[in-house]
Structure 1
């Protein structure tokens, strides 16, 4: 018996040695590496169990390598040409671009995000405005509807949208519907079968399979994208659920922010959707009909940027970092979940200590209380550096917004936390326009 125990101990120590060696070879932030190493060393057996179920990047590397390759091939040819243009272009009349050109170049380099100039951008400040606009535009669809959401519930607004999609599909409009396999795991088989019978294509992103639930918690598709006829697009933080319009029984009104886009930025949204669609369906859709010419009288510059486990860089996090560290006058942030990496905390403190007016709005109440209390752990050091931190009291603010110097603003799906920056597929719109930034600032105040 003693020999067997010694053999088991040697095997266990060998597994620990190999695991920590593998962990050290991975390209992780140092604090993550040290946390997992200490967990494995000082919590016998359980530490190994936790790491192999929740800490490995194996599934990320396996699942997203093919997707990343396809995405990069599609976007590289466009971004290279524009990098040359940004270096030499004269952006007369667009002071926001001249002041923030380094951010544009950063996003071109780290995520192949193309700057689009001819856009109409409408700010939608709550669920009611957003759903009314979406329903109106869906009813006008003639060629195709592309739908990509983290959460789609079969409640009142979900049923309204479903019925429009069914009607359009039966009339020959191409409907492609993509939902996250975890966020929308309650979507019924009846919903899917009715959509498919009407002629729509429906796919789940990374469907959850039991008993391997732990392997599917990470790397979710948190994006919210709608593209209609390649001319109108929606992006932001609002999922398809009644709570965004009617509020929450415990939290009160559910505040969030979305954008309605027209112009060439819609083509960027379309490209992200079609890359994701190729991943879930293995169908490549590149016809010109999905990228129609649709000139706009307004010329608001917009850069659509996406990031996720299929990205080489944490592009949205880097954009936030760059925007904060290059701010001259002000930084305003709203986020429902605030567990940022050390780099963002340092950037916020450094900006405040440099005389920049830095304000952060966090929710006073949350749908995930544990994350709320974790967020508060960062507040004291921010206050000591001069960052003004406010708690939103009128319900639950689920918006994800950053405004810098009142000339550039970002609205999208990404929270200021590690899950959004490193684990989930996210999408944000960067708007380089003083009028829009000031409009958003008024909502902020």
Structure 2
């Protein structure tokens, strides 16, 4: 019996190594999967089959194929027609530090600078959903919605019913949702919408099989585009908990943006690409003028921004690179809010270098978990970063879900990407990187108000934690690359 068990363990170890090393990946994720496969014989291989393999080549082409070039040509034509939009002149107007960030995204994400946008910041569910419902009700031609979570609860039904009414009026409606993030929401929930000619589809979902089933790659983006003129991007999803209606979380603190201007074109671009990669039998015509209407003669806004996406369809980790570049550019302050703090070595080094160079680095995370392993890993990294003089805050007034970064006086980021391995490498994410002093000041003022409802953590407070708690944190940290 002992010889049989030894043989099984040996075979399992060899198969684990072969399975993991046959696909290129970073070393941290490689070792994390080897730990799972070796110490969880059998079960580990099932987990890897669902959550460990890379996106198939067919799906990669769906995001990187001909639709992308067609959309970019359409956007370029619209920008050339718009008076007063000279990206070259706008780029020269920005500080040299900001220009380097713009150039980075132009090269690794093919994302031009979108100038003269009107941007409104929303930090409560009541404000966000009030504006969102108003925009949906005012739609005349098209509504495109993409969310990680679209729950079939009270708020979900309310939003869906608005979409049904707009479809009855002849508005073209498309809804894209993540099947895992929207657990419990099925095609039956959207049946009233499809009955009126609307469309709803789960992101990248295929029939269950062990060859193409990629549980690990989630659509974490939150995009709404109405009539090609009004866009929303940020951290909120569709569900009662985002209005603070769930006792488990209480008040829900998040950050979302409403955009009007050329930046909406780029939100529309990514929705169209995501939809056509998912709904293969009902693709959208990316050349349809309704999706990219002409900009008004006078653009009221003054905010310059870039819409940046990242995901497993690229190895460039574009949003992570943007975060690192923002940290590098900081001279006075770098203030971060994230529900999950699980940085890789490159982002840890950037944070430590900034803090030890005299930059005021602050990181705010929730005081409660929504995913226990992730929360314990967050606590571990917080306890390590505080040693370098980085200020760590636990937000106490409910659950903090905002994903924001404020750097100095004119640079900021708001979007869907958390400060963790999953958002950097595995999820499909979207962020707005903003170059505007007034928006930066508004986000900084909100951050300061949040500090009033937070408790600062110190080296001493972390040292007082029990050995059992510290063990759970260290154990969770070992699995950080695949959480």
- How does the TM-score come out when normalised to structure 2? 0.82
* Alignment check: 8 A CA contact 1:401 1:411 kept: yes
CA deviation vs aligned residue, 1:358-397 (integer Å, no higher than 9, x gap): 0000111122233222101012221111101111011111
* Alignment check: 8 A CA contact 2:220 2:428 kept: yes
Q: Distance in 2 between matches of 1:169 and 1:76?
A: 28
CA deviation vs aligned residue, 1:328-355 (integer Å, no higher than 9, x gap): 1110000011111111111111100011
Q: Cα offset for 1:150?
A: 1.0
| Match in the other structure for 1:363 | 366
> What SS does structure 1 have at the residue aligned with 2:135?
helix
> What SS does structure 1 have at the residue aligned with 2:30?
helix
* Alignment check: 8 A CA contact 2:307 2:431 kept: yes
| Match in the other structure for 1:307 | 310
| Match in the other structure for 2:356 | 353
Q: Distance in 2 between matches of 1:362 and 1:379?
A: 9
How many residue pairs match? The answer is: 434
Q: Distance in 2 between matches of 1:80 and 1:262?
A: 17
CA deviation vs aligned residue, 1:5-30 (integer Å, no higher than 9, x gap): 69x949x8677546535633533111
Paired residues for 1:266-415 under 5 Å? 266-282=264-280, 283-286=283-286, 287-295=288-296, 296-415=299-418
* Alignment check: 8 A CA contact 2:63 2:274 kept: no
Of residues 63-72 and 340-349 in structure 1, the stretch that sits farther from structure 2 once superposed is 63-72
CA deviation vs aligned residue, 1:219-252 (integer Å, no higher than 9, x gap): 0111111100000011110001122123430222
Paired residues for 1:243-258 under 5 Å? 243-258=241-256
Q: Which runs of 5+ in 2 are unaligned?
A: 80-86, 449-483
Pair 1:235 & 2:233 matched: yes
Given the superposition, is the C-alpha separation of residues 150 and 390 from structure 1 closer, same or farther in structure 2, using an over 3 Å criterion?
same
Of residues 265-274 and 336-345 in structure 1, the stretch that sits farther from structure 2 once superposed is 336-345
Given the superposition, is the C-alpha separation of residues 266 and 53 from structure 1 closer, same or farther in structure 2, using an over 3 Å criterion?
closer
Q: Distance in 2 between matches of 1:9 and 1:74?
A: 56
* Alignment check: 8 A CA contact 1:75 1:112 kept: no
| Match in the other structure for 2:183 | 185
Q: Distance in 1 between matches of 2:149 and 2:270?
A: 18
> What SS does structure 2 have at the residue aligned with 1:117?
strand
Q: Cα offset for 1:139?
A: 1.0
| Match in the other structure for 1:198 | 196
- How does the TM-score come out when normalised to structure 1? 0.89
* Alignment check: 8 A CA contact 1:278 1:285 kept: no
Given the superposition, is the C-alpha separation of residues 203 and 355 from structure 1 closer, same or farther in structure 2, using an over 3 Å criterion?
same
Given the superposition, is the C-alpha separation of residues 92 and 378 from structure 1 closer, same or farther in structure 2, using an over 3 Å criterion?
closer
Given the superposition, is the C-alpha separation of residues 80 and 22 from structure 1 closer, same or farther in structure 2, using an over 3 Å criterion?
farther
